[in-house]
Structure 1
Amino acid sequence: MRLPSTAHTSRPWRIHEIAGDFQLEDVWALPTPGGPDDLHYLVQQITSGTNDKAGVPSPVYRALFAIRWYLGRLLGWDKDRDGIDSRVRTLRDRLPADLREAPRGPDAVSVPFTSVYQLHDEWAAEAANRTVHAVMHIGWVPAEGGGHRGQLAVMVKPNGLFGAVYMACIKPFRYVGVYPALLRAMGREWQETAAERAAGQRG
C-alpha cells in the first residue's frame, strides 16, 4: 500500500540528517509483519536476491526491468564512471561519527544498491547512474493492530534536466508494473520464511 510522504518524513530517521537534498519519491507499507527486532531479517531477504529464486517477479515486472537494462546498456546510462564515488560521492562521506562506526549492513545482490548504514530500526542503501543518485530506505515501524512491519521509502537526486525527465517518464510504470509486483514478491517470501525466522528467534 502506498503511503503519504508524512509516513516517512514524520519519523526521526537518521537518513534525514544525510539526505536532505534528495527528493522523496515514494513511501510504501511492506507486507512483512513481525516483531520489534525483525528488521535484520527483512534486510537479509532484500539483499540476498532470493526473490528471483522464488520465481516471484511478474512477466510485466521482468519485462520492464529487461527494457530498462537494455536501454542502459544501449545508451550508456550504467557505466562505472556514472556510479557511486565516480559521478557522485557516497553518502557514507556524510555520516556522523556514530553512524560511521555502526554496522554498515550488507550490499544487495540482485539490484545495484550499496549499503550506507544499518541500525536496529532502519537500513539505507544507495545507487547511482547517469540518471539519478537514489536511496532505498527500509524502516521498521509499529503496525496498526499491533506488531511491526517494514516501510520502504525511495529518495532520488536527479542528474539535471535529463534525470528529472527520466524520473517523470518512468513514474507510471513504477506504479503499475514495478511496485505492485515487488511488494507481492516480498510478502510471499516473508510468509514462506516465517518458520525459519521463528526457529532463529527460539535459538
Structure 2
Amino acid sequence: MKLPRSSHTDKPWRIHELTPDFTVEDVWALPTPGGPDDFPRLLENFGSGNFPEGAPLIVRVLWEARWKLGRLFGWDDENGGLGTRVPMLLDRLPDDLRAAPRGPDLGDLPFSSLYQLDDEWAAEMANRTVHGVLHLSWVPDESGGYRGQMAVLVKPNGRRGAAYMALIKPFRYLFVYPALLGIIGRGWQASTAGARPTP
C-alpha cells in the first residue's frame, strides 16, 4: 500500500541526517506483518529476494529494456556513479553509523548498503540520471504489531534526471512496485511458515 511521504519524513530516522538534499519519491507499507524483533528477518529476505527474476514477464522485459537503454545512452557507465559523478553518502556517515553493520548485499541490484540499525537500513545507488536511496524500516502497524516500510529518496541529475524520473514513473507504479511488493510478501509468508515450530 502506498503511504503519504509524511509516513517517512515524520519519523526520526537517521537517514534524514544524510539526505537533506534528497526528495522522498515514494513510501510503501510492506506486506510483512510481524513482531518487534523481526526486522533482521525482513532484511535477510530482502537481500535474498529474486527480483526481477521472480517478477512477471512484463516487469522482466521492462527491467532488461532499462539496462539496454542505459548501455546505449551511457546512463550507467563507471564515471556516472558513486564516488565519481556524486560523492558517496557513505562518506557522510557519522562515527556511530560508520561503526554499525552495513547490512545485506543486494546481489545484482545496483545498491550499496550504508548502515543497518535495529529498525532501519539504507542503501544508495547513482548513475547519470539520479542519485537514489532505498530505505527500509520497521514500524508499528494499526493492529498492534509491526511491519516493514520502504521509502525511495532521489536527487535527479538536472533536467535530464527529472525527465527520466517522470518518464519511468508510470512503469514503476503499474508494474515494478506491484511485482516487488508481491515478491516481498510471498517471501515473507514463506519465511514465516518456515519459522513456525512443527507441532
Per the alignment, residue 72 of structure 2 pairs with 74
Unaligned segments of structure 1, at least 5 residues: none
Supply the distance in 1 between the matched residues of 2:7 and 2:42 (Cα, whole angstroms): 19
TM-score, with structure 2 as normaliser: 0.94
Supply the distance in 1 between the matched residues of 2:83 and 2:3 (Cα, whole angstroms): 32
Per the alignment, residue 8 of structure 1 pairs with 8
Matches for 1:1-203 after TM superposition, within 5 Å:
1-51=1-51, 56-198=54-196
Letter of the 1:130 counterpart: R
Q: Is the 8 A contact 2:51 2:180 kept in 1?
A: no
RMSD: 1.4
Supply the distance in 2 between the matched residues of 1:15 and 1:197 (Cα, whole angstroms): 31
TM-score, with structure 1 as normaliser: 0.92
Measured after TM superposition, the shift of residue 84 of structure 1 is: 1.1
Supply the distance in 2 between the matched residues of 1:106 and 1:186 (Cα, whole angstroms): 15
Supply the distance in 2 between the matched residues of 1:192 and 1:87 (Cα, whole angstroms): 40
* % identical aligned pairs: 59
Letter of the 2:6 counterpart: T
Distance 1:194 1:21, change over 3 A: same
Unaligned segments of structure 2, at least 5 residues: none
Measured after TM superposition, the shift of residue 198 of structure 1 is: 4.4
Letter of the 1:63 counterpart: V
Partner SS, residue 61 of structure 1: helix
Letter of the 2:147 counterpart: R
Supply the distance in 1 between the matched residues of 2:156 and 2:51 (Cα, whole angstroms): 28
Measured after TM superposition, the shift of residue 145 of structure 1 is: 0.6
Letter of the 1:72 counterpart: G
Supply the distance in 2 between the matched residues of 1:9 and 1:94 (Cα, whole angstroms): 19
